[in-house]
Amino acid sequence: MKITILGSGSAYGTPMVFNDWGNANSKNPKNKRMRASILLEDNNQKILVDAGPDFRQQINTFGVEDINAVFLTHGHYDHIAGIPELPRASKLLQHKIKIYASEETMLEIKNCYGYLFKGGEAESIGLDWEKLPNEGKIDIFGLNFEVFQVPHHKLKSSAFRYKNFAYITDWQDISENSLAQLNGTDILLAECNNGFSMEKNGHSNWPEIAERLKNTYIKQIVLGHLSARVDYESFKNKLPLNVIPAYDGMILEL
């Protein structure tokens, strides 16, 4: 299994608009962050997780040549703004693209891009929309995902475990049942938008994550969806040895 971190940044990226780097050192390339997205590859299948506003740039920058499906975590802009590019992507790939989303996320997408559900897919092979369960197993091109949800603002964000890898983005808490899905994983890639900042904004920080996971065995934790509050080196130096920050282009292999 190979996971490529296409984007390790928050909703506003780093630098933010007007070239504002916040607390991040502009001289460190690992602080240059596109919006959060990953590519999971296994058994010759390629599953894109989230398609935000940097979708085209991420695909081109990291030389992604194909995708079979898109797993959407929730309906916020930084995770779905690339969806209008998928019809053309399917045309260029010469095959349909399956898009998996929860019922709640699907409603958000229809509110934003209703024309895609009314035959408005010019120059497209096609998009197949599939419903994600709020909780439970789903087969995505022969890959067996265990899906669960975590609270994020007023929405629910879909997270998953696949084999010994787990992915959670945009979370402010987690239930005991969902926490059990993380136990025994080799790698957990989790949103840590706020770094060590204790700001309450629907996102997580490392002290909160450490408290949630204190009774859960995870071999390695990778922290992504990092805002401009977070400087890569300063953050890394304060973390336990088995916890590391993500950066764009980072590759995880299991």
212-227 pLDDT, tens digit each: 999 999 999 999 999 9
Q: Long-range contacts of range 147-156, CB-CB < 8 Å, 24 or more positions apart?
A: 148/175, 148/177, 148/178, 148/181, 149/102, 149/178, 150/174, 150/175, 150/178, 152/74, 152/76, 152/202, 152/203, 153/202, 155/74, 155/75, 155/76, 155/104, 155/105, 155/108, 156/74, 156/102, 156/104
| E strand or H helix that includes residue 70 | strand 69-71
The confidence score (pLDDT) of residue 212 equals: 96
**Degrees to nearest 5, angle at CA 62 with 59 and 64:** 55
Q: Identify the DSSP state of 226.
A: B
What does the pLDDT look like over 28-48, one tens digit per residue? 999 999 999 999 999 999 999
CATH topology of domain 2-253: Metallo-beta-lactamase; Chain A (3.60.15)
Domain range annotation of the chain: 2-253
What does the pLDDT look like over 165-199, one tens digit per residue? 999 999 999 999 999 999 999 999 999 999 999 88
State the Cα–Cα distance between residues 78 and 170, nearest whole angstrom.
Answer: 11
When the pLDDT of each residue in the chain is averaged and rounded to a whole number, the result is: 96
- Predicted structure pTM score: 0.96
Q: Give the three-state DSSP class for 234.
A: helix
